[in-house]
Chain A
């Protein structure tokens, strides 16, 4: 009896969260903490109290993220290493951007971003190729390319951050402050979100769809930097000199990224549904994941996006309260943020209460992306307002 008892006890035993953590988890935590401490010592002098606050909060954030999503660890370690390499190559002189090979062709923010752009496009092609050829190997390669694109992009941003201080300590700011920089951010966050779900659902067939959006963003990015030489590092206008911005913008772009992801999974959904109806043997019907999974993924993405977008909008309001003297001024950018928010709120209501699924909701999610796109780009292009973000 008691033997059986122990067996049962062993089975039942549900170790608590902390006890579940392994050696690598703790290793990760200590690495992050060490890194944070190092950053403090290195750059603390250039930070104001808010940046210090943000940094100290981002440390536990990173640790948690690494525990929650293992693949994130090697990624961030490589990014950290390459960023430091880039910074080291600069050796304290911005002139080296053109002089030093490693910067000119790899790690100066400009070059790194170019690499990111190229890799994202390659990855898109690879994903679709893999899907059509039904080749797991190609798909794995595609994932690898996407990861490397993300590495280069994030490294680019990190180095750009450093460059801004290098050009002139007065210019120094976290690179989330103009349209060029946030487009990079958008590509990175969308890519990361996708890769997370790819690992989570062990399914690579959606990569092409999601990276299509990213490639489009990359296209814009290139046009924007070549036509308007937007990649130039400029100092912040007074209105943007706010610690709120540093959290408001990234939160916003987690939202945008998630909505973009949801739209593309919905496109896949529509193709799949159409395929199953009209030719069940066709590519769409056979190669794409099940409708249930697509629907679930869309819901997860939209709710994630919605949650962060809610917070971002609130942070925006708090920022506006300090910059413009009112937490809500019905400025076009604000208003369009609200419109996006209301749109997805309605979407979620239908799904929650009516349990709506399927084609109409998928279409709605696709339309949602265009609404979002307008909020994020159209407003700057067509409407005038208080937002001092990059006019086109």
Chain B
């Protein structure tokens, strides 16, 4: 099928041309790359941050945030279909001819002109030569035609014509796939058209499905869609959400899906083994509700809709929270909360809104083992929430319910960050021997208690100065004063506060020395206060290893408190988990069409590569002496080296059976 410019207009020639085909293949390949390097269908604000206003608009107008649904991309695919179709249409007649015609009326000179040809005189008469030749070709699996005209006979044989079917099936397969996928299953195309007609407008606000206006809703009989919905355990839904650029549409379902239960099963390693949901389909067409279980890789197909286990999350778990203030001025507070709800906190000077975001039952984290290796380990439930102050500024927190063991000691761990882009910074509050935060909190409030600090400062200074046999009340007062003030500063604003103090009070060259002295004094003071804290707890005498470790951990925690941004440690005391199952629900009428096309394509490709269309001609002319002149010639449309070998074999067979070489 060489390109024939004879038939068809220029346009057809262009559309079916190899140039266009190859350009399209390459252009499509390049265009496809875009969507893989630029993460598709993200919230538009992310793109704005990433690219800035100018490029953001530029890229949006080019449809780069949803490339594969953008008009120009669909146009390329359309061209692909056109190119394929014209190509097939244009070649079909020729191919059918190829299949049917044996070319038995080929001329002697064109045979002699062929790359693969052999002329010989046969001792056999033409009739015998013909019958032998025929039998050979038959044995070799050729279908033959015979033509006898003006004194010579031509046996024309061919096999492997299926190769041309390969060509047809490959391209038809492509067409079928592209149409099935691009038209039948192309929900976004229909939406785009409806949008242009003003019949449809994606919703961009984050509002309840019930409040979504009719113009953002699609009826249940919509022919093709792919969307998702999160359904909490025990509740049900008859709609799903279709993402459209920076918004969504509400797609109604012809039935009602209820999630009875969602389960995650785990391997012994803690890795998830299976995600599955017990579903109940409520449909008036059903005699009784249809109960079934779906899991990843095992969807439910009902009424032409497929329901997949796609995702999971919290469905509004109930949590008991305890707000533990870091200052004795606030009272502790308890809250019965529900994930996704907001609560106004009043027990502090500044007002905060507490927004509960997420609950997690398992947190499989990489934990460093005593031996230094890291191992995946479940550190138990956690809650994620935001604290929003009057100005609207919010900090995000992730607090673990249970103490987390780290290198032999254990802590209440709370992560904090001011933007989702940042990683969490962690606050580690040491756990006292009773497994509570009591000691830490008492120590903290002791540090905030100026009178108490004063006394303990006095005490230690006295004892240490007696030991040092110094008697200088002036120095003593000096030391105690600074002890008190430094402790106050540290308790308020951590080591940063101390540093500021130093930079404020000393010239550069003195600062290093000063800070060293300050830290000594400060530490001495706080040790004294800590002694007192322990005493209250009933711990007397020399503090133990653990107590000292606790002291250091506490200082670290207090140091971080100034940036912690919350006046409370918000502890989860109890919970009732309610999960939500993330279902993806699709209707794709084109699926089977696409599969059919795929099968055609596969068959076609193999035929194309592994079958070659071979032709053999045997030209026989009787000679006067009862012998005959024979020409053997052949051609193949693919895999010529193979054919070369084959033709040599055939040659020798003919030489041995029909006659000796004449060349």
What is A's interface to B at a CB cutoff of 8 Å?
8, 11-14, 168, 170-171, 234-235, 237-239, 241-242, 292-293, 296, 303-304, 306-307, 310-311, 314, 317-318, 321-328, 330, 332, 335-336, 338-339, 342-343, 345-346, 349-350, 353-354, 379, 383-385
Contacts and interface: CB of A to CB of B under 8 A. Distances in A.
Contacts of A384: 39
Contact of B35 (A238, A311, A330, A346): A330
B40 to A, nearest CB: 7
A345 B601 CA distance: 13
A240 to B, nearest CB: 9
A350 B653 contact: no
Contact of A13 (B139, B271, B273, B298): B139
Interface stretch (B17-25, B94-102, B515-523): B17-25
Given A342-B29, A346-B22, A321 B591 contact: yes
Contacts of A14: 139-140
Given A238-B274, A346-B26, A384-B39, 13 more contacts: A11-B657, A238-B295, A307-B602, A314-B598, A327-B181, A327-B595, A330-B32, A336-B36, A349-B18, A349-B21, A353-B3, A379-B36, A383-B36
Nearest to A329: B226
Q: Report the interface size class on chain B.
A: 35 or more
B401 to A, nearest CB: 26
B135 interface: yes
Interface in B263-299: 267-269, 271-275, 295-299
Nearest to B267: A235
B310 interface: yes
Nearest to A336: B36
A237 B271 contact: yes
Interface string B623-663: 00000000000000000010000000000010011000000
A168 B267 contact: yes
A287 to B, nearest CB: 21
Given A237-B271, A238-B274, A327-B594, A307 B22 contact: no
Contacts of A234: 269, 271
A118 B244 CA distance: 53
A344 to B, nearest CB: 9
Contacts of A241: 274, 296-297
Nearest to A326: B226
Contacts of B181: 327-328
A349 B67 CA distance: 27
Contacts of B298: 322
Given A168-B268, A321-B591, A353 B609 contact: no
A7 to B, nearest CB: 8
Contacts of B40: 330
Given A296-B641, A307-B606, A326 B18 contact: no
18 contacts: A12-B132, A14-B140, A170-B267, A238-B274, A238-B295, A241-B296, A310-B601, A314-B601, A321-B591, A325-B308, A335-B33, A336-B36, A338-B32, A342-B25, A343-B25, A349-B22, A353-B18, A383-B36
Contacts of B3: 353
B28 interface: yes
Contacts of A342: 25-26, 28-29, 32
Contacts of A293: 641
B226 A170 contact: no
A115 B586 CA distance: 48
Given A310-B602, A326-B586, A12 B32 contact: no
B584 interface: yes
A383 B140 CA distance: 53
B418 interface: no
Nearest to A343: B29
A17 B269 CA distance: 53
B269 A235 contact: yes
A343 B30 CA distance: 10
A335 B73 CA distance: 14
B14 interface: no
B609 A303 contact: yes
Contact of B135 (A12, A310, A335): A12
Contacts of B269: 234-235
B602 A12 contact: no
Contacts of A330: 32, 35, 40, 67-68
Contacts of A322: 297-299, 308
A20 B29 CA distance: 46
Contact of A11 (B585, B586, B610, B656): B656
Contacts of B595: 318, 327
B586 to A, nearest CB: 5
Nearest to B274: A238
Contacts of A345: 25
Contact of B33 (A8, A304, A321, A339): A339
Given A296-B641, A346-B26, A384-B39, A304 B609 contact: yes
A296 B640 CA distance: 9
B31 to A, nearest CB: 10
B306 to A, nearest CB: 6
Given A171-B267, A325-B306, A353-B18, A239 B297 contact: yes
A310 B606 CA distance: 10
B136 interface: yes
A263 to B, nearest CB: 17
A277 B609 CA distance: 32
B480 interface: no
A323 B275 CA distance: 12
Contacts of A314: 598-599, 601-602
Top 9 A-B residue pairs of the complex, sorted by shortest distance between their CB atoms: A325-B308, A238-B296, A325-B584, A332-B36, A14-B139, A346-B25, A342-B29, A303-B609, A314-B598
B37 interface: yes
A239 B136 CA distance: 56
B13 interface: no
Contacts of B598: 314, 317
B588 interface: yes
Interface in B32-46: 32-33, 35-37, 39-40
B529 interface: no
A128 B74 CA distance: 49
Among A168, A310, A325: residue with most chain B CB under 10 A: A325
B528 interface: no
B413 interface: no
A323 B32 contact: no
A350 B22 contact: yes
Interface string B345-380: 000000000000000000000000000000000000
A343 B26 CA distance: 7
B324 interface: no
B226 A11 contact: no
Given A12-B135, A12-B139, A14-B140, A323 B35 contact: no
Contacts of A311: 602
Given A238-B297, A324-B310, A338-B32, A8 B273 contact: no
A241 B309 CA distance: 13
B429 interface: no
A354 B67 CA distance: 32
A330 B68 CA distance: 7
A321 B588 CA distance: 10
B605 interface: yes
Contacts of B18: 349-350, 353-354
Contacts of A383: 36-37
B37 to A, nearest CB: 7
Nearest to A379: B36
Contacts of A8: 132, 657
Nearest to B135: A12
Nearest to A323: B297
Contact of B272 (A168, A237, A292): A237
Contacts of B610: 307
A176 B284 CA distance: 45
Contacts of B609: 303-304, 306-307
Nearest to A309: B605
B586 A12 contact: no
